[in-house]
Amino acid sequence: MRLGPPRRSLSKRSRTVLALLAGALLVLPACGQFEGVHDDFVAQGGENEGLGGSEGGSADGGATGGDGTESSGDGGGSDDASGGGGGGGGGGNDNGNAGNGDTTGVTADTITIGIHAPLTGAAPLKQESFATGKDLYWQYGNGGKPVQIHGRTVETVFADDQYRPSTARQVCQTMAEEQQAFALIGAGGTDQIQACAQYAASEDVPYLSTGVTETGMGSLDTYFAASMTYRQQAPMLAAYIKNELGVTDASKVAAVVTNTPNFDDAVEGFTGAFDGVDVFRPDKNERGSSAAGNLCTGTVKNYDVVFVLTSPTFYLEMAAASGCRPQFAGVGVSMGLDQVASTGCSAASSTEGARFFNPTPAFADAGEYDPDFLAAVDAAGIEADDVTWMMWGQSKVLHQMLERAGEGLDRGAFMDAVAGQKFSTGVFPDLNYANGPFGATQVSVLRNVCSGGGHYETDFAFVSGF
């Protein structure tokens, strides 16, 4: 007990109290179990099936999963440069629990899915577009009529994860267990997606998200990334900066990446492909304006191109405070939102010309890539935006997956039907899960245009290299 000085001055009674406390502290250690910790961590998300074979022998790997318990999981092949998250073997996320009988969220005529996204916090999505966008595909995606999957329609529930990993875990549990969601979707936010994915894996709930980090995700056997991970995109971005933006001098390039271990893989990927760039790692709750002091000296540029991987609010603050207007470029999901472009443009056009890799082409060009989208928007009579568009694409991916899982839908059958398979939607990149959960190889490049209200336009659609 560290209560030294005051303790001497206390009475006998309070000593009794303190002694009680001390007793409690000593008793408490006895009620834990050493052996359990590791297994539990495994069940918690460190599950690792990357042993090679896709034979369905061990039905649930939870108890036997070997290493990969560190979230940086070396065993899971998450550092594998090829991006094959399953590491050792093809179909690494096929745990062979076909038809496991877990039909949570599936009734005779409905399937419920749960979506989490930040509506408050540092990267908030617009509430209305989210509320209307989440059901658009399921209600109007079938030529203006509700989508039918083997006779079932799809219902959605959603929750605000507040841009916090721990809230994400709570809301995912609530959606999957109380609201009976069959599968979960993460719409954005790396740390939140990781936290929810690890929960989903521990409870064998299918989980689909846009590609974010690979750290601790490659070995999750219920997880599927619907677009390229940051680790996969970073070398492509380096090539893009060199070949398309024409900046090859590493000393003229900076990277501003939020200080979370989940972005370490993206930083490694970037610096590996672009040796010698300056890297700044601001904290998650730091203000963007303080980072601007590094990018500019007055109105003189210290760097020609700045790779940003932060929250949108941070990026906008940094851009607004950078009087020298460097060229911003980056990867990610939430940065590609028109909301971000429009806010950045209204701050003295500070984000004009910024380029971001995005899962989908720009919302402005949606009609070109999927005319059904505009038709559905008309049929629903809503005001669509890019959040709606992004939700549309992700729903379309999930639709194909559910379709393939067949009529006798359960969580095991779903996982089996997705692992190792290919999907193509024309909105999200083409997917091939033959080598694990990071199955995308294409991105679209969006450019921030300020004239006519800030928005993004498509520079490249579905490219796999520069």
Partner 1 sequence: MATATMVLTRVKVQRRFGLALRVTVVIALLALAALPLLLGGDVWAQRISRAAIYAVIGLSINTLTGHAGQISLGHQAFVGIGAFAAAFMASRLGAPLGFGLAAAGVAGAFTAVVIGLVALRVTGLYLALVTLAFGLTAETTIFNWREFTGGGAGAFAPRPAVLASDHAFAPLCLGVLGLVLYLDWRIVSTKTGRALAAVRNDERIASTLGVNVTGYKLAAFSLSGLIAGLAGGLFAHWNQIVQAMDFEFQVALVWVLMTVVGGLRSRLGVILASAFFALLPLTLPNFLSSLPWQPPFLNEAVYHVLPPFIVVVMLLIVLRCFPGGFGQLLRPATAWLSGKRQS
Partner 2 sequence: MGAFLALGLFQGAVYGLLAVGIVLVYKAKRVFNFAQGEFGGVAAFTAFAIVVGAGLPYWVGVVGGLAAAVAMGLIVERVIVRPLESSSRTIMLVALVGVALFTIAIIVLLGQPIPRVMPPLIAGGGVNILGAGILPQQLILMAVLAVLAAAMAWFFKTDMGLAVLASSQDTRAAQVVGISPVAVSRLVWGMAALLGGIAGLLYAPVGIFTPGFMTLTMLVPAFAAAVLGGMTSLPGAFIGGLAIGVVQNLGIYYLGQQLKVPGAAELGVFALLMLVLLIRPQGLLGKEA
Instruction: Give the 3-state secondary structure of residue 83.
Output: coil
Nearer to partner 1, 173 or 327 (CB): 173
Single out the residue of 145, 141, 147 nearest to residue 109, CA to CA. 147
Assess 297 for contact with partner 1 (CB under 8 A).
no
Find the binder of partner 1 among 209, 233, 258, 358 (CB under 8 A): 258
Assess 207 for contact with partner 1 (CB under 8 A).
no
* Least gap, CB of 134 to partner 1 (angstroms): 9
Q: How far apart are CA 426 and CA 424, in angstroms?
A: 6
From the list partner 1, partner 2, none, partner contacted by residue 383 (C-beta under 5 to 8 A by kind): none
Assess 242 for contact with partner 1 (CB under 8 A).
no
From the list partner 2, partner 1, none, partner contacted by residue 98 (C-beta under 5 to 8 A by kind): none
DSSP state of 438: B
Q: Which amino acid is at 115?
A: I
Q: How far apart are CA 428 and CA 443, in angstroms?
A: 9
Instruction: Give the 3-state secondary structure of residue 334.
Output: helix
Nearer to partner 2, 106 or 316 (CB): 316
Nearer to partner 2, 124 or 412 (CB): 124
* Least gap, CB of 110 to partner 2 (angstroms): 31
* Least gap, CB of 283 to partner 2 (angstroms): 5
Nearer to partner 1, 9 or 451 (CB): 9
Which residue reads 């677009």 in tokens? Answer: 227
* Least gap, CB of 435 to partner 1 (angstroms): 24
Nearer to partner 2, 140 or 163 (CB): 163
277's tokens: 């760039």
The site map against partner 1 for 208-227 (x = CB under 8 A) is: -------x------------
Assess 35 for contact with partner 1 (CB under 8 A).
yes
* Least gap, CB of 89 to partner 1 (angstroms): 26
From the list partner 2, partner 1, none, partner contacted by residue 108 (C-beta under 5 to 8 A by kind): none
Q: Which residues bind partner 2 (CB under 8 A)?
A: 119-121, 124, 126-127, 259, 283, 285-290, 293-294, 296-299, 312-313, 316-317, 320-324, 339, 343, 346-348
Q: How far apart are CA 21 and CA 254, in angstroms?
A: 53
From the list partner 2, partner 1, none, partner contacted by residue 324 (C-beta under 5 to 8 A by kind): partner 2
- Cα first-last separation, the chain: 62
Interacting residues with partner 1 between 267 and 286 (CB under 8 A)? 283-286
Interacting residues with partner 1 between 143 and 182 (CB under 8 A)? 157-160, 163-166, 169-170, 173-174, 177-179
